[in-house]
Structure 1
Amino acid sequence: MTSVVKGNLNQGAGQAFAFDATIDLLTPTALTVIANRRRWKLKITDIRATLHRVPVEVPLLKEPIVTAVLFVTVETDKGVTGNGLTRGSARFGMKEFINREVAPFLQGKNPLETERIWQMLFKQFNPRAQTGMWSSAVSAVDIALWDIKGKHYREPVWRLLGGAQNPVPAYVTFGLKQYSKEQLIEVAGQLVKQGETRLKMVVAVDPENPKVDAARVAAVREAVGADVELMIDANYLFSFNRALELCKLVEPYRITWFEEPVYQNDAALLADLRRHTSIPLAAGQNEGHRFRHRELIANHAIDIAQPNVCSVGGYTEAVKVAA
């Protein structure tokens, strides 16, 4: 038995292809098409956002550092469940937004259509392309949808995103503000003994006095030697002048990059700072979507882009930044 079939097949992830072909409905090819169409039909049945406080044990500190996390669970009619998370100061607002607005809006939608869902959320709830709370909340939902997609297709998310192209070196963030200079030296030494070769320390201990940070950086560099890579991160707490002052003070210590050195990742200020220092600049982990990253890149403001899937809009938006 043969039949002429015309139409569109939804492939998931918001993609579709048109077909116009004569197929034998009894052939394996036809059966595969039918089976795949069934596989693509999942429905979201529930979305829940909850708040959690996660204690993180840190070497040498008596008390753990408590991190507030928003956790999202997405359930489907096929029993496949996805989980996502994000952070942010507006976590109570994000929780209500997801539970009261996003959850009913996505009820019955196909969680495999990640691109389509992302665009729907953007048009429905963020027509003015704002960042901040919206982007962080959608990030958690999008991550959960990709979790479902990976479980459904029985593939790791990294492979669904296209697969690894090049190895990316890992580093350890260790230089917390809570550490004294002596504790910094001790922890850095422990990490190097464990085989770590890339360390990042937090700066802007006193945003008005970069000399404090410079002394801490100098102490760590002396302790770990010249072969260990050392990065610094101000979490955009410096003014331009203070950031430039710190750059000049620590340039002799071979800093791999200076992360988020100025207020609000101001692209113009970052570009100016980049022209006045030999230290590579990095930013992006707190930016809400690809347009902010485009601004940083177009202004030649950074050497390293750092999209964070927990704030940029999830994997769906992060791959656009990477592209």
Structure 2
Amino acid sequence: MKIECIDTFVLRVPLGARRFYSSQAAFPERTSMLVRVTSTDGVVGWGEGGQYGPAEPVKACIDEVLAPQVLAMPEAMPAVVAETLYARTRDFGQKGTYVEAISAIDIALWDLLGRTLGAPVSTLLGGRFRERVKAYGTSGYYTDPEFRADRDLPGLAEAVIGHVADGFDMLKMKIGLLPIAQDAARIRTVREAVGDDVVLLADANHAYNAATAIRVGRVLDEHGFACFEEPVVPEDRAGYSRVRSAVDVPISGGEAEFTRYGFRDFIEQARVDIVQPDLCVCGGFTETQRIATLASTHGARTVPHVWGSAVALAAALQMCSVLPLSPYTLRPIPLQNEPVIEFDRTPNPLRDELLVEPFRLRDGHLDVPTGAGLGIEIDLDQLERYRTA
């Protein structure tokens, strides 16, 4: 499988009045970076990276450093390429931009390999345990630019009720931007709005120190939340352990971690209940397989994080389909021992308009594409519409 050319695409969609906020930042736009690899046989594969910060550094990394190396290889098999590129950039890579760039290339090469062989990526990874994945709707972002909880609560309740009406019985909300008492009111509002039958998760985007996170975790315990994501900053492994020891709500994290080496330390030192590698960040399919295996040996569940375009979602669905139950039970229970998939409810044209056949929620689930490779077809007109570089 010899590579003929590698193209990169920076995508950007301004959101205007639809902007929203997490504990860390405003989101005035949706951005991502796609990579297209084309073999000498004319087969194309797509990958994605560059989701968390500016996409341009990831593009430059591929264009100027990694792509020439891949093009020089007599054969470009995904795992070999990923390991080789990581080894050659270890002295100045290891985390961040270079690993995101390797992730994009790795996903594209797995897609290309699947299309070349006429098989889904999930088949190449060993086969599926499931044909569809339970979806949770990420909502409950902050929308009031003045961050006044009293103005935020009615809209928050209306939003989550609407998501339940759309077919979600599992939702994730954002916390961490406001004082604890005000975020506690938001937590209570969401629970009261959707009732006890909806599974709720909370994501702080590492807004707290351990002491504050424990106080918030007890509020989540009181309202029956099923997961507390990124309670403290990724570097604070002792803080993760302290929070997990003090509250009953399961603790998750890892979207800001990279490669099996970073996750080895994160899992062993933090002792989280759920690890959340993002395929477009942590090293692609090649590395996520290793991370999931490592997590299982420590009794942790793997639930891939998803943020980017339709390419990222397709990759995560393929990955979720091959993850075994952890631990095994005769009857799978989503999140408790079966992987679930994030389906963000904020505006995302890069996901919803980029494919010839967009993803659709069906009975609270997303179907895993059955076609070759990632199983998706990019709408090239839409790609050019949102391309800025």
Please tell me the TM-score bracket, short chain as reference. 0.7 to 0.9
1:200 aligns with 2:163: no
Aligned: 1:254 with 2:224 = yes
Per-residue deviation at 1:278?
A: 0.8
**Inter-partner Cα distance in structure 2 for 1:60 and 1:130:** 32
| 1-structure distance, mates of 2:64, 2:237 | 35
For the residue of structure 2 that corresponds to 1:279, the secondary structure is coil
Matched, 1:96 2:57: no
CA-atom RMSD, angstroms?
Answer: 2.2
1:322 matched residue in structure 2: 292
Q: d(CA) in 2 for partners of 1:60 and 1:70? A: 20
Letter in 1 for 2:105: V
Q: Is the 8 A contact 1:174 1:201 kept in 2?
A: yes
TM-score (norm 1): 0.80
Structure 1 Cα separation of the partners of residues 34 and 287 of structure 2: 19
CA deviations 1:52-95 (Å, max 9, x no partner) are: 1135799898xx95211011111111001111112131422211
Structure 1 CA distance for aligned equivalents of residues 133 and 238 of structure 2: 29
Aligned partner of residue 290 in structure 1, secondary structure: helix
- Which of the two has greater strand per residue? 1
In structure 1, the partner of 2:10 is 51
Over the matched positions of the two proteins, sequence identity in percent amounts to 32
> Normalized against structure 2, the TM-score is what?
0.67
Larger Rg: 1
- Look up the SS of the partner of 1:272 in the other structure: helix
Corresponding residue number in structure 2 for 1:215: 185
Deviation at 1:301, TM superposition (A): 2.4
Amino acid aligned to 2:139:
F
Match of 1:226 among 175, 187, 196: 196
Structure 1 unmatched ranges of 5 or more = 1-41
- In structure 2, what is the equivalent of residue 66 of structure 1? 29
Output aligned runs, 1:1-323, within 5 Å. 42-54=1-13, 66-86=29-49, 87-109=51-73, 113-127=77-91, 130-165=94-129, 168-178=133-143, 180-206=152-178, 209-323=179-293
Q: Structure 1 segments of 4 or more deviating over 6 A?
A: 56-61
CA contact (8 A) 1:288 1:311 kept: yes
Q: Which amino acid aligns with 1:299?
A: Q
Verify the 8 A CA contact 2:228 2:250 in the aligned structure 1: yes
Shift of 1:48: 2.0
Alpha carbons 1:265, 1:283 under 8 Å: kept: no
Matched residues, number: 278
**CA–CA distance in 2 between the matches of 1:96 and 1:319?**
27
- Unmatched runs of 5 consecutive residues or more in structure 2: 21-26, 145-151, 294-389
Equivalence for 1:5: none
CA drift at 1:212: 1.7
Between the aligned partners of 1:85 and 1:242, the Cα distance in structure 2 is 35
Q: Secondary structure of the residue that 2:279 maps to in structure 1? A: coil
Does the CA-based 8 Å contact 1:112-1:149 persist in structure 2? no
